[in-house]
Structure 1
Amino acid sequence: MKDLRTDAEAIEWLGVRYKTILSSAQTNGAMSIVDSWSPAGSGPPRHIHANEDETFVMLSGTCKVWIAGKETNVGPGESIFIPRGTDHTFKVIGDEPSRHLVILTPGGFEGFFADMADGQFRIPEDMPAVEESAKRHHLTFTGPPLE
């Protein structure tokens, strides 16, 4: 696998690098797979995907994953499934970054990452623009990132 930090096809938002390796267009909307490189300490605010199931396949690093009030640490070689409609978030813990595949079924949410990279929106300063894209991608923010 290419190093996402130097891959010209990868996009970046808030220090996280994303590369769609299987788009919803390639699967007639059935799914998408995004390769993600996240620096230590990073993680999104708590949120819910209304339409997509989400699976993380951990390649390197460790993430603390919070799903509906339950925390689990997942590391290389492990996977975790987050059903659609479930409140969740994660944070990269330890000193090393995390590289993980994000499998979304059905596909289409990869467009949110593209919107964020295109606009280079900041949280919380640019939340109206982030929320506008989130709404189009059936994403609802429900709380802060993990401490």
Structure 2
Amino acid sequence: MKRRKFLLATAITLPTIGFAQALPEAQERSKKGFVVKANASRFNETTKLGGKSPNDIKVSAKDTNQNLAIFEYVGNEKGGPPLHVHLKQDEVFYIVEGEYLFQVGDEQFNLKAGDTIFLPRNVPHTFAQLTEKGKMFFLFQPAGKMEDFFRANAALSGPPSPEQGAKLFADHEMKVLGPPLKF
């Protein structure tokens, strides 16, 4: 009878031990909050997309053990990125100012100030700013390589060729699938 209980306990316990070993190791996290002021970024760096539109890190992957990154984008021109897919991140956008057209899969959505949209990973998407000025907060979960993507994009001296753009996206766990939205 003791042997049967031992075997039963072992059979029940082994999957739990295996599951616990598969969990990521707990990371030491800061116990202090922080403030990032208006018109500033987390590390006081300037990242302008297209040389015109600030894209500031507000919460860094470094702050969250790669679990989350939050950005504030101030759009100073119409348009947006090519149709693409994130292989490892979900994305959320909150519109503060202006009007945007989003495509998620086969659906299109018009968003204005106060609207929020969720874009699941592995679903093709893009957006276009429809107004001369726009502002939005957006986040990636997990953070992935998105901070480095925006830094590399901002370092370009001009718009990348389609081949350069595809490589830039691929180097940061994304894939370009088509052109930007026409509006």
Q: Same fold (TM over 0.5)?
A: yes
The gaps in structure 1 that reach 5 residues or longer are none
Query: Which structure: greater helix fraction?
Result: 2
How far is the alpha carbon of 1:119 from its aligned partner?
2.6
Task: Provide the rounded CA distance (Å) in 1 between the counterparts of 2:147 and 2:109.
Answer: 24
1:18 and 2:55 aligned: yes
Query: Which structure: greater strand fraction?
Result: 1
1:48 and 2:81 aligned: no
1:82-93 correspondence to structure 2 within 5 Å: 82-93=119-130
How far is the alpha carbon of 1:3 from its aligned partner?
4.1
1:107 and 2:139 aligned: no
Task: Provide the rounded CA distance (Å) in 2 between the counterparts of 1:99 and 1:75.
Answer: 10
Q: Which moved more, 1:10-19 or 1:46-55?
A: 10-19
Task: Provide the rounded CA distance (Å) in 2 between the counterparts of 1:111 and 1:122.
Answer: 17
Task: Provide the rounded CA distance (Å) in 2 between the counterparts of 1:99 and 1:10.
Answer: 16
Letter in 1 for 2:91: E
In our comparison, the structure showing a higher alpha carbon Rg is 2
Task: Provide the rounded CA distance (Å) in 2 between the counterparts of 1:76 and 1:45.
Answer: 23
What value does the CA root-mean-square deviation take over the aligned residues? 1.7
Aligned length: 141
Report the counterpart of residue 98 of structure 2 in structure 1.
Answer: 61
- Decide whether the 8 Å contact of 1:39 with 1:92 is kept in 2: no
Flag the structure with more relative contact order, 1 or 2, with Cα contacts below 8 A and sequence separation at least 6. 1
Aligned sequence identity (%):
25
Letter in 2 for 1:110: E
How far is the alpha carbon of 1:121 from its aligned partner?
4.5
1:135 and 2:176 aligned: no
Q: TM-score, structure 1 length as denominator?
A: 0.87
Q: TM-score, structure 2 length as denominator?
A: 0.71
